[in-house]
Structure 1
Amino acid sequence: MKQVAGLKVLVVEDEGLVALMIEGMLEDLGFEVVASVSRLADARTIAAKADVDLAVLDVNLAGEPSFSIAEVLRGRQIPFIFSTGYGLSGLPDEFAHQPLIGKPFSKEELQQTIAAALSS
């Protein structure tokens, strides 16, 4: 994986404990978490303006899909991964080839999925 020390990450996750777990894993891997948000509208705003190098997006935010955030990030050419408990079947065709990690996941699985996102 390319050098990650200091790369800035946006975490979008609606479960507080899961968000803390992801943030801890990212920090252990050398990333800087610049924002962690749980609401769709807030996440879209931050994704549109924040200085980030990567994002980790929960597919389902309190019953709302995060695909509009993914579209904003894709428009800004910012790599992202989806995090979900639903598997690939929960992704629309336009995101079918996007790196995806299934919950629960390990730090090593997160690292591998991020490496795939950063290399594409």
Structure 2
Amino acid sequence: MARILIVEDEMLIAMMLQDIVSDLGHQPVGPVMRLEPALDAALRDDFDLAILDLNLAGKQSFPIADRLLDRGIPFFFATGYGRDGLTDGYRDLPVVQKPYDAYQIALMLRDLTGDRV
């Protein structure tokens, strides 16, 4: 079981992600809904991987991604912009495009954790 940080500013989507993560046998951490608290969580909290919404109330989550990369914590972006929303330096990172379903999240978590779907 992995502890998974959920960074998502839309409450309904965050709740859906919590349910998906729980249903897959993992423990959700959060959700964290704004950039500044997410930056703190990325630096201090104890979790195994993260799901990052790209746009948090108009602010991009790239600084959070940088902290996770520095800590060696795997993550993926979940965004309606898809890979096109990622800027240079981030384009090779994992991304799931919204709208997504539980199976897509399960596949990405499997890829990051090595667990079976």
Q: What is the TM-score of this pair, normalised by structure 2?
A: 0.93
Q: After superposition, give the CA deviation of every residue in 1:90-110 in whole Å (9 maximum; x if it has no partner).
A: 101211111100111111100
**Of the candidates 92, 96, 100, which is equivalent to residue 91 of structure 2?**
96
Task: Say how many residue pairs are matched.
Answer: 114
Q: Tell me the distance in 2 between the aligned counterparts of 1:118 and 1:82.
A: 15
Partners of 1:115 and 1:99 in 2: how far apart?
Answer: 12
Q: Secondary structure at the match of 1:93?
A: coil
In 2, Cα distance between equivalents of 1:107 and 1:117: 15
Alignment pair present for 1:79 and 2:74:
yes
CA distance in structure 2 between the aligned counterparts of 1:117 and 1:27, rounded to whole angstroms: 16
What per-residue deviation string (whole Å, max 9, x for no partner) do you get for residues 26-74 of structure 1?
A: 0000110122110000000011001110000000001110000000001
- Counterparts of 1:92 and 1:112 in 2: how far apart (Å)? 24
Q: SS of the counterpart of 1:35?
A: strand
**Which residue does the alignment assign to 2:23?**
28
**Alpha-carbon contact 1:99-1:116 (below 8 Å) kept:** no
Identity rate, percent: 41
Match of 2:62 in 1: 67
Q: Take 2:92 and 2:85, find their aligned partners in 1: how far apart are those partners?
A: 12
Residue segments in structure 1 that go unaligned for 5+ positions in a row = none
1:117 partnered with 2:115: no
Equivalent pair of 1:8/1:54 in contact (CA under 8 Å)? yes
What is the TM-score normalised by the length of structure 1? Answer: 0.91
